[in-house]
Structure 1
Amino acid sequence: MNHRDYESDAFASVRRRLAAAEADGIVHYVCEDRSFKVHAGVFPPTHFQSTGIFTRHLPYRRGGSFLEIGCGAGVTSVMAAIAGCARVVAADISEAAVRNTRENVLLHGVADRVSTRHGDLFDVLEPGERFDQIFWNSNFVFVPEDYVFEQPILQAFCDAGYLAHRRFLREASQHLTPDGQLLIGFSSLGDEQALTDMLAEHNYSSTIVASAYGEGAGAPRYDILRLWPGGQPSAAAPA
């Protein structure tokens, strides 16, 4: 499918804001009074509010291990280490994003706790490697499965046919510790009914950990969901 053959309000919004970010040439982003470098060709949190909202609202486990899928410039992974996570792995399919994350890890002095890996979803992990928390700020904007991206960076925002979401749901629980938390960042910009259907298809229930609206008139809602493999959580399940 040619990129001119498909359009939606959410997709149009992504393309407008991405064009604005590229035109502005932003190289710095501030989160929780800490400055981060943002390289060209990497998800720009200056123009997309999900990174800041999710980073501020995630329930980091002090002393635990944390895997971030799709780390972008590394803001969330760095802040996870600063918040007390003992071991953080920041992974991204984009080499530019991994390089950007490494720079911010060094900038904030957390290289003893944060490592970076380049690859697609869980391909980056060693056999048997498990985490207390896995978080993915998902590429929640839907485009059709046969959509051809004219810019590779658009795949940081959009998931063709929600194939990445389906793979995440198939594989994620294998990489959790027994009381681990599986967390996904989603938005009203995404197809929420499709997400509900995919969770049911893969036998997950979900609870909303945090929810916030972005700034500005008509801003979308951003949710952090905890996903529970195998159905409803028990009353004794850890928070």
Structure 2
Amino acid sequence: MAESQLSDFPKYVHCLGLDLEVHKEVFWSDTGQWVAENLPPMIGKHVLEIGCGCGLIALFLAKNGASDVLATDVTTNAVENTLANANRNNLSNLTCITSDIFQDIDRNTKFDCIVWHMPATCVPDDFQIVSVIEHSSFDPGGSLLDRFLRESPYHLAPNGTIMLGYNVSRNESFITDKLKAYRLSHRRIAEKKFTPDSMINLHLYELRPLMDGS
């Protein structure tokens, strides 16, 4: 990850009909494009994206029919990058704030869809994040996943859905057991192995809270 930050910034990318700039210490990879391409249509929906990085997914949804998109990230670098890209692409139906998952999101605001392309690597509880860019790739002890699954239903509108891009690596039962524990139904809508050894084996899930008695 340190090596990825040695080149000149900003970088400029044309992707999914968007002109993007990518700032230093902000996440960018082909996995984000894959998630955006495989999301269901969001026409007319109020959407929340957690962990927006440079804004690719949020901007793609805002450009392609979402009524409005709130993008969030734990790092100010990513928020500034997403806002710059919204301006670059003349998108007025997107806002972006700094938030540690749901920490700074009004619980009274409900969304038709919540999207998170999660950090790809679960690391031990005592793993120390030492650089800004590492927030985009590491989930110490799976604590971010637990917080997201526990809190997401409180921010959903009736009949709302959660779209989770998750690296199952070689152990899909880790995520499916979590979904069962948090009473979330799941449907895998897409999957792709990004590395031959399956260390990045991305699944895109559609999640819904189970009703009492389900």
Q: With structure 2 as the length reference, what TM-score do the two structures score? A: 0.90
* Aligned twin of 1:58: 39
RMSD: 2.1
Higher helix share: 1
Deviates more, 1:219-228 or 1:33-42: 219-228
Asked if the contact 1:204–1:231 (Cα under 8 Å) also holds between the matched residues in 2, the reply is no
Could you tell me which amino acid in structure 1 is paired with residue 72 of structure 2? A
* Aligned twin of 1:69: 50
Listed as ranges, the gaps of 5+ residues in structure 1 are: 1-17, 235-239
Deviations 1:38-97 (A, max 9, x none): 000111x2xx32111001111132011110000000111111011100110000000000
Asked if the contact 1:169–1:202 (Cα under 8 Å) also holds between the matched residues in 2, the reply is yes
Asked if the contact 2:50–2:72 (Cα under 8 Å) also holds between the matched residues in 1, the reply is yes
Deviations 1:129-178 (A, max 9, x none): 01111000111311011111232321211100000110111110111111
Q: Where do 1:97-112 residues align within 5 Å? A: 97-110=78-91, 112=92
Asked if the contact 1:70–1:90 (Cα under 8 Å) also holds between the matched residues in 2, the reply is yes
Deviates more, 1:218-227 or 1:162-171: 218-227
* Aligned twin of 1:211: 191
Asked if the contact 1:140–1:190 (Cα under 8 Å) also holds between the matched residues in 2, the reply is no
Higher strand share: 2
For 2:103, what is the secondary structure of its paired residue?
Answer: helix
Deviations 1:174-215 (A, max 9, x none): 11111111110012437533212211211122101222343x
- Report whether the alignment pairs 1:124 with 2:104: yes
Q: Where do 1:172-211 residues align within 5 Å? A: 172-189=152-169, 191-211=171-191
For 2:6, what is the secondary structure of its paired residue?
Answer: helix
For 1:85, what is the secondary structure of its paired residue?
Answer: coil
Could you tell me which amino acid in structure 2 is paired with residue 163 of structure 1? S
Counterpart CA distance in 1 for 2:21 and 2:80 is 11
Q: Where do 1:137-176 residues align within 5 Å? A: 137-176=117-156
Asked if the contact 1:141–1:157 (Cα under 8 Å) also holds between the matched residues in 2, the reply is yes
In the superposition, relative to structure 1, how do residues 175 and 166 fare at CA in structure 2: closer, same or farther (>3 Å)? same
Which of 174, 195, 206 is residue 226 of structure 1 equivalent to? 206
Asked if the contact 1:134–1:182 (Cα under 8 Å) also holds between the matched residues in 2, the reply is yes
Q: With structure 1 as the length reference, what TM-score do the two structures score? A: 0.81
Could you tell me which amino acid in structure 1 is paired with residue 61 of structure 2? A
Listed as ranges, the gaps of 5+ residues in structure 2 are: none
Count how many residue pairs are aligned between Structure 1 and Structure 2: 211
For 2:77, what is the secondary structure of its paired residue?
Answer: helix
In the superposition, relative to structure 1, how do residues 149 and 42 fare at CA in structure 2: closer, same or farther (>3 Å)? same
Counterpart CA distance in 2 for 1:23 and 1:135 is 30
Asked if the contact 1:142–1:190 (Cα under 8 Å) also holds between the matched residues in 2, the reply is no
Superposed structure 1 runs of 4+ greater than 4 Å apart = 216-219
* Aligned twin of 1:14: none
* Aligned twin of 1:21: 4
Percent pairwise identity: 27
Counterpart CA distance in 1 for 2:139 and 2:156 is 24
